[in-house]
Amino acid sequence: MTSNLPISPNYSQLDENKSENKNAKGQYIFFLILILLLGTETFITAFLLYDFSEDIHRTRESGRDGGYPIHCLSTDVTLPADQAGIASCDLLNQELKQTARQRLLLDIQNYVLGALEEHNITEVFKPAVHVGAKQELKQYQRLQKNDETPALDRIQWDNMNGQFSQEGLMRLSPEGEIAVPHDGIYFVFSQVNFETQIGQNMHFTQYLYKRTASYPRPVMLAKAVVTPCVSVRSDVQLYSNHQGALFRLEKGDRLSLYVLNISAVRFPQESTYFGAFMIN
């Protein structure tokens, strides 16, 4: 026995409504995720633009605070200008020429020493080097980006003038580091002259770092900390912080000296210097 009653379409309509609601809900979630991603990208872009503008501002302020006439880099000397500005730009040009000349001489010296080292012409004198600090204007600490030791400043050394001596192919690299030519035991020494004032942090630290060919990030070998006894009779006083020790070094090692507060350092070459010599 069969029934001839018509089948109600309500069930199929309910299924279609559920399917449409499900699709609408999925599209709504998709649009929410898309809006969230766009908002995140917009925020990141705005942050990067702000950080970039801050870097530009800091660079300008650093150049201005450091006493560098950076306006000369965009100045046409053929246009009328005040004599003081022209004089400062002429001084900068002379300094750049002298720096380029010293860098060229350093490259020639390092090339010759490298060629001698390749032919093992190193037995006459034991490796040794002594360098004094560059002038304060040539330290360029505010214009250098230091990602390896961001809290410290590396002292730059003068290998052309003043208190400079070198033997046995031990030399200063173009980056201002002492390059070790042979494996052996070396005595490494340093002294830094610094100034303290009443009301400032009354301690000073210098750090000796080494870089190797297999591990280019600097590794600390030693540090020296001094806390001077400040006299109330004088607002400004000078002190010296020194260190020296024996280290087993390998060919290709690079030595450098960092300080925690380079603004306190004074740079006469007879009191701020760095060196090393081979013992055995």
Q: If residue 59 lies in a helix (H) or strand (E), which one and from where to where?
A: helix 10-65
Is 41 a member of any domain?
no
pTM of the model: 0.57
Is 28 a member of any domain?
no
Say yes or no to pLDDT of 196 above 90.
no
pLDDT band, residue 272 (cuts 50/70/90): very high
The residues near 206 (Cβ < 8 Å, ≥ 6 apart) are 190, 192, 223, 224, 241, 243, 257, 258, 259, 260
Domains identified in the chain, total number: 1
Q: What is the mean pLDDT of the chain?
A: 75
Q: Rounded to whole angstroms, how far apart are CA atoms 22 and 15? A: 11
Is 232 a member of any domain?
yes
Q: If residue 95 lies in a helix (H) or strand (E), which one and from where to where?
A: helix 83-118
Q: Rounded to whole angstroms, how far apart are CA atoms 218 and 99? A: 26
Is 21 a member of any domain?
no
88-135 residue pLDDT tens: 567 666 666 666 666 666 666 666 666 656 656 555 678 899 999 988
Residues of the domain holding 196: 125-278
Least Cα distance to 222 among 234, 209, 212, 232 occurs for: 209
**Residue 129's pLDDT is what?**
93
Say yes or no to pLDDT of 208 above 90.
yes
For residues 182 and 55, the model is more confident at: 182
Is 81 a member of any domain?
no
Q: Rounded to whole angstroms, how far apart are CA atoms 106 and 171? A: 9
Rg for the chain, CA atoms, rounded = 32
**Residue 138's pLDDT is what?**
63
Is 53 a member of any domain?
no
Give the pairing type, strands 236-249 and 165-167.
unpaired
67-91 residue pLDDT tens: 455 556 555 545 444 444 445 567 6
Structural contact between residues 260 and 253, judged by C-beta atoms closer than 8 angstroms = no
Q: What is the CATH number of the domain that holds 255?
A: 2.60.120.40
Question: Which residue has 């042979």 as its token pair?
Answer: 182
Is 205 a member of any domain?
yes
Least Cα distance to 177 among 267, 272, 252 occurs for: 252
Is 44 a member of any domain?
no
